[in-house]
Amino acid sequence: GDSVTQMEGPVTLSEEAFLTINCTYTATGYPSLFWYVQYPGEGLQLLLKATKADDKGSNKGFEATYRKETTSFHLEKGSVQVSDSAVYFCALKGGSYIPTFGRGTSLIVHP
C-alpha cells in the first residue's frame, strides 16, 4: 500500500538558517503530493502541492519538487523565521480512496 516516510524531529534551527525536511514515499502510479503545516493550537492547512513529476510546489518561501526517480518530495526554505515554527506533514493521494500522511516533523526556530 501507499506510505510516506519523513524525517523525525524536532528540527531546531536559528532564524535565517536553511531548512530541509526530507520526505520519501511509496505508491503505485502517479500520486499527488502535499505538504501541510500545523501551527500551535490549530488544524492542518495546505502549504503546497504538486500533482505530477518534476512539478515544483511553492508557497510562503517554501518549495518542494516532485521527484519520481527518487520518490521524494523534500521541503525546503532558504531562510526560516521564528513564525515558521510548526509541525510539517508530508502526504500523498494515490490510488487509494484516502490520503496517506507521514508522522509529522516538528520545526523549532530560535531567534
Partner 1 sequence: DADVTQTPRNRITKTGKRIMLECSQTKGHDRMYWYRQDPGLGLQLIYYSFDVKDINKGEISDGYSVSRQAQAKFSLSLESAIPNQTALYFCATSDSRQRSFEQYFGPGTRLTVT
Say if residue 10 is preceded by a cis peptide, omega within 30 of 0. yes
Stretch binding partner 1 (CB under 8 A), from 14-22, 68-76, 77-85, 89-97: 89-97
Q: Which of 25, 49, 84, 86 binds partner 1 (CB under 8 A)?
A: 49
Q: Which residues lie below 8 Å from residue 91, measured CB to CB, with a gap of 6+?
A: 4, 33, 34, 35, 36, 99, 100, 101, 102
Query: What is the residue whose three cell numbers read 513564525?
Result: 83
Helix (H) or strand (E) holding 86: strand 86-93
Q: Which of 1, 29, 40, 42 binds partner 1 (CB under 8 A)?
A: 42
User: Judged by CB, which is closer to partner 1: 17, or 65?
Assistant: 65
Binding residues for partner 1, rule: CB under 8 A, are: 32, 34, 36, 42-46, 49, 51, 89, 93, 97-99, 101-104
